[in-house]
Structure formats: structure tokens, C-alpha cells
Amino acid sequence: MIVWLLSRTEIVSALRRLVREGHLDKKEISAALRRLDRLSRTWAEVEAVDPVRERAERALGLLCDVTRSPRGHLYLVGADAQLALAATLDSPPPDPEVTRFARAFFARQIDEDEERSAGLTQATQMLSLPGAASFTDRNGVERRLLMLTCKQGPTVVYVGLAVLAVDETCSLDPDTVTSATALASYLIQAGDTPGRRAG
């Protein structure tokens, strides 16, 4: 069987949406993902699967699960030390405004230089968790921003940024930061991003 390159991504996204909507429980999603893994070993994709993309999708899925966010985008630091879109879950590609905002917010978190944060608006509200903020775009859509950071020795490494959709069930709590830190460390160790060192 030959399938589209992003078939697995689309199926995982649909399954996670069913969990969030209450149509599948954890046992059912686990069984469905195991079946998908078995099935995906039997098909051929139009292009090879990118393991970086796969890990980014998995990381974003976990962040959406822990925050109960229905959808989102994950940006990772590339070799050029800039943020690049690495994964999207249950969403169309991000609006250019969201990407510009994400990059400006990320830069501001690393370096409080006023020039670099000029793209930030008063619609941004820092939340009580470190590296988390709320952002409302020009269309009135609210999103949560969550920095992915970890430590390598005494140095803080900025790995990426999750931009998560907000609905009535979405929440950020200390477990969110713990999960984001663990995922950031994992993505660095896997070689998916070089990260960006503070300072």
C-alpha cells in the first residue's frame, strides 16, 4: 500500500482529537496507536519519513495532551539559531502573524533587548509559569505560548516554543513546565535541534 507522506500525522492528529472530545479513552488510544504502528510498517510513503518531524509531532502531541489543548504548533531552533515550524497538530499552517509573534516572543525570552521584541503587542500577557504567556491575535483568537528550555550543565538552552490553542479545558500548570523541560532535553539529545544558549 502506498500512502501520502503525512498520512500517519493526519491519523495521529485525528485520534488525539477523538481523545480530547471524549470519544476515546487512554486504553483505546493506546490500542489505536499500536495498530497504526503495525499498519504503518506495511505501507510505503511517497517520501521517506523524517524522524525529526516524527519526534516533533510526538512532542507536540504530548504537550497538547498535558495542557488539554485541542491543537497547536511547535517551533524548534534550527542550525541558524532561528525558530522554524517543526510540527502542527489539528491545525492549518500558522498564520504569518502568529509565526512573527512566536519568533519575537522567543527572542525576547532569550534577550530582553527592546528592538528584538518590537513585534510584541499589548495583547501578550505573561502567565504565572516561567516561559509561559497568553497571546490574542488580531482576530481575537487566544493562544498559550510555552518555551521549551532545559539545562546543559549550568547553561540554559532554549530549544523551541509551543503555540497552543485555548479552549475551556486548556490549562498550564507546574506539570506542564516539567513535561516541556523533559521534552526539550529529549529533542536536544536526539539531535533534532542544537538549541540556543542563553547569553
Question: Which tens digit of pLDDT belongs to each residue from 153-184?
Answer: 888 999 999 999 888 888 878 788 888 999 99
Q: Extract the C-alpha cell encoding 152.
A: 546543559
Most confidently modeled range among 12-16, 137-141, 162-166, 176-180: 162-166
Enter the pTM of the model: 0.69
Residue-level pLDDT at 59: 93
Question: Which tens digit of pLDDT belongs to each residue from 35-82?
Answer: 998 998 888 766 545 788 888 999 999 999 888 899 999 999 988 888
DSSP codes joined into one string, 64-108: HHHHT-S-EEEEEE-TTSSEEEEEEESSPSPPHHHHHHHHHHHHH
Q: Using CA atoms, how far apart are residues 26 and 75, in angstroms rounded to an integer? A: 27
Residue-level pLDDT at 126: 52
Q: Using CA atoms, how far apart are residues 149 and 146, in angstroms rounded to an integer? A: 9
Give the Cβ contact number of residue 125 at 10 Å.
11
**Residue 70: phi, psi to the nearest 5?**
-75, -20
Domain ranges of the chain: 1-49, 51-197
Q: Using CA atoms, how far apart are residues 136 and 198, in angstroms rounded to an integer? A: 27
Class of domain 51-197: alpha beta
Q: Using CA atoms, how far apart are residues 172 and 48, in angstroms rounded to an integer? A: 35
**Residue 92: phi, psi to the nearest 5?**
-70, 170
